[in-house]
Amino acid sequence: MANIKQHLDRFDLVILGSGSAAFAAAIKASELGARVAMTESGTIGGTCVNVGCIPSKNLIQAAELYYAPAHSAYKGFSMRRGKVDFSALIRQKDQLVKKLRQKKYIDIAEGDEKISILKGHAGFVSKNQVQVGDQIVEASKFLIATGTRACIPDFPGIDQVKYLTSTEAFELKKLPGSMVIIGGGVIALELGQMFHRFGTKVTILQRGGHVLSEFDPEVAESIQNILTMEGVSIHTDAVVNQLDRVSRGISIAATVQGKPRRFVTEQLLVACGRIPNSRSIGLEEAGVEVDEKGFVKVNDEMQTTADHIWAAGDVAGPPLATPVGAREGVIAAGNIVQGTHIKMDYTVIPRAVFTDPEVAAVGLSAAEARAMGMQVAADCLDLAHVPKAVAIYQTKGLVKMVIEKNTGRIVGVQLAANRGADIIHEAALAVKCRLTIQDLIGTIHVYPTMSEAIRMAAQMFTKDVSRLSCCAE
On whether residue 344 sits in a domain, the answer given is no
Task: Give the chain's radius of gyration (CA, Å).
Answer: 24
* Same domain, yes or no: 370 and 402: yes
* Same domain, yes or no: 190 and 325: no
Backbone angles phi, psi at 9, to 5 degrees: -175, 165
Domain end position, chosen among 272, 289, 307: 272
CATH of the domain at 197: 3.50.50.60
CA distance 218 to 222: 6
CA distance 423 to 389: 13
On whether residue 221 sits in a domain, the answer given is yes
Q: Kindly give the parts of the chain with pLDDT less than 50.
A: 1-5
* Same domain, yes or no: 302 and 255: no
> What total number of domains does the chain contain?
3
CA distance 35 to 336: 12
On whether residue 346 sits in a domain, the answer given is no
On whether residue 89 sits in a domain, the answer given is yes
Q: Which pLDDT belongs to residue 82? A: 82
Q: What is the pLDDT of residues 180-216, one digit of tens each?
A: 999 999 999 999 999 999 999 999 999 999 999 999 9
* Same domain, yes or no: 306 and 378: no
Strand bridging mode 122-126 / 129-132:
antiparallel
* Same domain, yes or no: 306 and 437: no
* Same domain, yes or no: 201 and 313: no
CA neighbor of 39 nearest in space, from 133, 108, 179, 128: 133
Domain end position, chosen among 249, 272, 295: 272
Cβ atoms 180, 195 nearer than 8 A? no
* Same domain, yes or no: 368 and 355: yes
CATH of the domain at 386: 3.30.390.30
* Same domain, yes or no: 141 and 210: no
Task: Please write down the HEC assignment for all residues of 58-77.
Answer: HHHHHHHHHHHHHHCCCCCC
* Same domain, yes or no: 11 and 102: yes
CA distance 32 to 11: 14
* Same domain, yes or no: 146 and 280: yes
* Same domain, yes or no: 141 and 31: yes
Bridge partners of residue 244, in order along the sequence: 251
On whether residue 471 sits in a domain, the answer given is no
Q: Which pLDDT belongs to residue 465? A: 93
What angle do the packed helices 186-198 and 53-67 form, to 10 degrees?
40
Domain that includes residue 177, residue range? 158-272
Q: Which pLDDT belongs to residue 5? A: 44
On whether residue 345 sits in a domain, the answer given is no
On whether residue 359 sits in a domain, the answer given is yes
CA distance 448 to 228: 29
Bridge partners of residue 38, in order along the sequence: 15, 117
CA distance 428 to 439: 14
| Cα→Cα distances 255→99, 243, 245, 398, 465, Å | 45, 13, 19, 32, 44
Which sign does the torsion angle of CA 347, 166, 296, 5 carry?
A: negative
CA neighbor of 136 nearest in space, from 299, 9, 36: 9
* Same domain, yes or no: 305 and 427: no
